[in-house]
A and B are shown apart, each in its own frame.
Chain A
């Protein structure tokens, strides 16, 4: 028990950074997902190809490599500084998961029955109206369960930012461990519990999103 009392207040200092990185990544990640998802459905070939290139690059390599590349390599290559490790971390996570989620956006929109768009055309709706009023509301409901899963994946990936020196929960855990190795079991177990507690609302939200997407839809 004593060990927990020692460790707890240190770890809690990292919660703020973890949550900040997580929230920024969620907002940017979803934004990226919708932008890239729509761009891949665009009529413009160049736009489609560029977005496709972005999606394949970020899905084809691993997040930790992207993070290191943004943090160590990008500033050398172009001589630009991203500004802070915070933005390097948030950018890596949101670009990576944005790429994955853009595929969900794209496939959900494509899987809305064709008759819906034909009916909307028959009602003399413009292209934009069709998307906004008919296709998109039906597509969003299909995206929900997957989007929920990605919340938890993004939370888990925020632990990587400790590797570029950000002071998140894991960072403080590592400091405690290096000062006293015998504390390691308490420290890491507590770190895991911290992440799990942060994850609980997201697990609940995912279940909610899943049931929301099923509501009013006949099961096959």
Chain B
């Protein structure tokens, strides 16, 4: 432990902390994007034309099973070079698109599990009451499908937070990039990288506990069957 220096630790701390705003801001932006975009995948599954549904579901599988890091590079470096539709995007926007789209495929599955757990009688009732398709979804199905998935969605917020440092590779200056900068300037990586790890722990651990509590509360409230995907909590905590 002889190489640890508290002086450098204290010097690096405020420096690294400057990136925290960007890290949190990017987390929230990516998360909101994924929440909205996730609905698209949910409805893709309900497209009545088999061929289109099949193609779109394979695209989803493709996005899910390939590394988000490569997707980030694709959007940041390759997208501007695509003839016709390409345009240059800032690192921040690229990260929102890349991580947002990647995680939207997971969020879409969460919505699906919520919708699948809505009782069949509710669909039949809305049909019997002659509800329009729009009304059926907004008044009957979604209000029952989404609340039980809130803990799972919360888990994805924590996952997103832990994935956001990937964006440092395309130049988003969050805490990890600040630590790297500090390391490059002072030739000390140990302390700044440890600070980054500590910051992640401080922020994500209490949130995980909070979400566990929320989950228990929700389970009591909707104590019928929880949505199918929610049983092993750890599933939703998987990172990519």
User: Which residues of A are at the interface with B, using a C-beta cutoff of 8 A?
Assistant: 56-57, 59-66, 68-69, 72-73, 76-79, 96, 100-101, 103-104, 107-108, 146, 149-150, 152-153, 155-160, 163, 170, 173-174, 177, 181-185, 187-189, 191-192, 195-196, 199, 202-203, 220
Contact = CB atoms under 8 A, between A and B. Distances in A.
B65 to A, nearest CB: 4
B183 A155 contact: no
A156 B200 contact: no
Contacts of A68: 176, 180, 189, 193
A100 B155 CA distance: 13
B240 A157 contact: yes
A173 B66 contact: no
A73 B190 contact: yes
B190 A185 contact: no
A100 B70 contact: no
B165 A65 contact: yes
Interface of B: 1-4, 61-62, 64-71, 73-74, 77-79, 81-82, 86, 161-166, 168-169, 176, 180, 183, 188-190, 193-194, 196-197, 200-201, 204-205, 208, 225, 232-235, 237-240
A69 B61 CA distance: 32
B197 A61 contact: yes
A188 B70 contact: yes
Contacts of A108: 232
Rank and list the top 10 A-B pairs by shortest CB-CB distance, nearest first: A159-B67, A62-B162, A184-B78, A72-B189, A199-B65, A188-B74, A61-B200, A185-B78, A156-B67, A73-B190
Given A62-B239, A153-B239, A195-B70, 10 more contacts: A65-B196, A65-B197, A68-B180, A107-B233, A150-B238, A156-B65, A182-B81, A184-B77, A187-B78, A195-B65
A62 B67 contact: no
Contacts of A107: 232-234
A173 B70 contact: yes
B82 A149 contact: no
